[in-house]
Amino acid sequence: MKTVRILVSGKVQHVGFRACTRKIAVNLGVCGEVVNCNDGTVEITATGDPAVLEKFVAMVYECPRAVIKEIETEPLETRLYADFTVGREAVQ
């Protein structure tokens, strides 16, 4: 298992992006959370098999109505989650 922080920039707030991200995560068996950030980006913390996480990141680009400008990923210490949740807002 691996955990990554994924920061997504572009038009990703108020377009159903968090719900789309959750649907993809649940379908792939990825656990974690997705939250809006104060600066207009969206932060995803995701835990899963490394190959599945790669597929997850690729599929996030397919969320309708979102216009993704950039996705940055960085590894984190492995975190265990029971499921994948949609949060309101990250503290920055």
Domain boundaries, the chain: 2-79
Catalytic annotation on 36? yes
**pLDDT value of position 20:** 97
Q: What tokens does 83 get? A: 């499921």
pTM of the model: 0.93
pLDDT at 88: 74
Q: Tell me the two tokens of residue 86.
A: 């949609």
Active site residue 65: no
| Pair type for strands 31-36 and 84-89 | parallel
- Tens digit of pLDDT per residue, the chain (92 long)? 999 999 999 999 999 999 999 999 999 999 999 999 999 999 999 999 999 999 999 999 999 999 999 999 999 999 999 999 999 776 55
| Burial letters 6-45, b for 16+ CB under 10 A, else e | bbbbbebbeeebbebbbebbeebebbbbbbbbeeebbbbb
Instruction: Tell me if the domain spanning 2-79 has CATH number 3.60.21.10.
Output: no
Catalytic hit among 18, 22, 27, 38: 18
Catalytic residue (choose from 36, 38, 65, 79): 36
